[in-house]
A and B are shown apart, each in its own frame.
Chain A
Amino acid sequence: MRYHLPMHVAFLGATKGMGRSLARLMAARGDRLVLLGRNLEDLQRSASDLEARASAELTVETVACDLGDPSSFAPALAAAEQALGKLDCVVVTAGLFATQDELEADPDRALELVTVNFANTVGFCEQARARLLAGGGGKLCVFSSVAGDRGRKPVIIYGAAKAGLSAYLEGLDHKFREQGLQTICVKPGFVKTGMTANLKPPPFAGEADAVAVSVLRAIDRGSPVVYAPWIWRYIMLVIRSLPRFVMRRIGF
Chain B
Amino acid sequence: MPTDAANSEALVPLRDPTTKLVRGPAIDSAKPPTLVGWGNLPAPGVEVLSEDLQALTAGRVLSRGLGRAYGDSALPPPGELEVAGTTLADRIVSFNADTGLMRAEAGLSLHAINGSMIRRGLFPPVTPGTQFVTLGGAVAADVHGKNHHVAGCFGQHVTRLRMRVADGRILWCSREDHPELFWATIGGMGLTGHILEVEFRMDKIPSSWIWAETIRVPEIGEYIRLLKESASEWPMTMGWIDCVSKGRKLGRGILFRGRWATPDQAPNKLAEPFGRLTVPFMLPSWTLNPLTVRMFNAGVYRTPTHRLKPVHWESFFYPLDKVRHWNRAYGRKGFTQYQCVLPDAAGPEAARRFLEVLTSTPGGTSFLCVIKDCGPQSQATLSFPTHGISIALDIPVRPDTQALVDRLNEATLAEGGRIYLAKDAFTRPEHFRAMEGERLERFMAVRRAWDPDLRLRSAQSVRVLGDPA
Contacts and interface: CB of A to CB of B under 8 A. Distances in A.
Contact of B25 (A55, A193, A198): A198
B88 A53 contact: no
Contacts of B94: 48, 52
A51 B25 CA distance: 34
Nearest to B24: A198
Contacts of A166: none
Given A53-B116, A199-B25, A48 B92 contact: yes
A200 interface: yes
Given A53-B116, A194-B50, A200-B25, A45 B91 contact: yes
Contacts of A17: 51
4 residue pairs, one from A and one from B, having the closest CB atoms: A52-B95, A49-B91, A52-B92, A197-B49
Given A198-B26, A198-B48, 18 more contacts: A20-B51, A20-B91, A28-B116, A45-B93, A48-B93, A48-B94, A49-B91, A49-B92, A52-B92, A52-B102, A52-B116, A53-B116, A194-B50, A198-B23, A198-B24, A198-B25, A199-B25, A200-B25
Contacts of A48: 91-95
B119 interface: yes
- Which residue of A16, A28, A51, A52 has the most chain B CB atoms within 10 A of its CB atom? A52
Interface of B: 23-26, 48-51, 88, 91-95, 102, 116, 119
Contacts of B102: 52
Nearest to B51: A194
- Which residue of A15, A51, A194, A197 has the most chain B CB atoms within 10 A of its CB atom? A197
A145 interface: no
A93 interface: no
A46 interface: yes
Interface of A: 15-17, 20, 28, 45-46, 48-49, 51-53, 55, 193-194, 197-200
Nearest to A55: B119
Nearest to B23: A198
A193 B91 contact: no
Contacts of A52: 92, 94-95, 102, 116
B291 to A, nearest CB: 35
A51 B102 CA distance: 12
B50 A197 contact: yes
Nearest to A99: B26
A199 B116 CA distance: 31
A198 B51 CA distance: 13
21 contacts: A16-B51, A20-B91, A28-B116, A45-B91, A48-B93, A48-B94, A49-B92, A52-B92, A52-B94, A55-B119, A193-B88, A194-B50, A194-B88, A197-B25, A197-B49, A197-B50, A198-B23, A198-B24, A198-B25, A199-B25, A200-B25
Contacts of A28: 116
B22 to A, nearest CB: 9
Nearest to A101: B26
A197 B49 CA distance: 6
Contact of B49 (A46, A55, A194): A194
A29 to B, nearest CB: 11
Nearest to B97: A52
B391 to A, nearest CB: 36
Contacts of A53: 92, 116
Contacts of B116: 28, 52-53
Given A52-B102, A52-B116, A53-B116, A197 B48 contact: yes
Contacts of A16: 51
A17 B95 CA distance: 22
A166 B110 CA distance: 38
Contacts of A193: 88
A49 B51 contact: no
A193 to B, nearest CB: 7
Contacts of B88: 193-194, 197
Contacts of B24: 198
Contacts of B48: 197-198
A40 B51 CA distance: 16
Nearest to A195: B51
Contacts of A199: 25
B270 to A, nearest CB: 11
A48 B102 CA distance: 11
Nearest to B88: A194
Contacts of B91: 20, 45-46, 48-49
A101 to B, nearest CB: 10
A199 B51 CA distance: 16
Contacts of B51: 15-17, 20, 194
Contacts of B50: 194, 197
A15 B119 CA distance: 24
B70 to A, nearest CB: 24
A78 to B, nearest CB: 28
A198 B27 CA distance: 10
Contacts of A51: 95
A150 B49 CA distance: 29
A169 to B, nearest CB: 26
A134 to B, nearest CB: 34
B15 to A, nearest CB: 23
- Which residue of B50, B91, B92, B93 has the most chain A CB atoms within 10 A of its CB atom? B91
A49 B48 CA distance: 23
Contacts of A49: 91-93
B29 to A, nearest CB: 15
B161 to A, nearest CB: 18
Nearest to B89: A194
Contacts of B92: 48-49, 52-53
Nearest to B96: A52
A199 B27 CA distance: 11
B274 to A, nearest CB: 16
A88 B95 CA distance: 29
Contacts of B93: 45, 48-49
Contacts of A198: 23-26, 48
Nearest to B50: A194
A58 to B, nearest CB: 12
Nearest to B26: A198
A41 to B, nearest CB: 9
A110 to B, nearest CB: 19
Contacts of B95: 48, 51-52
A199 B26 CA distance: 9
A16 B26 CA distance: 23
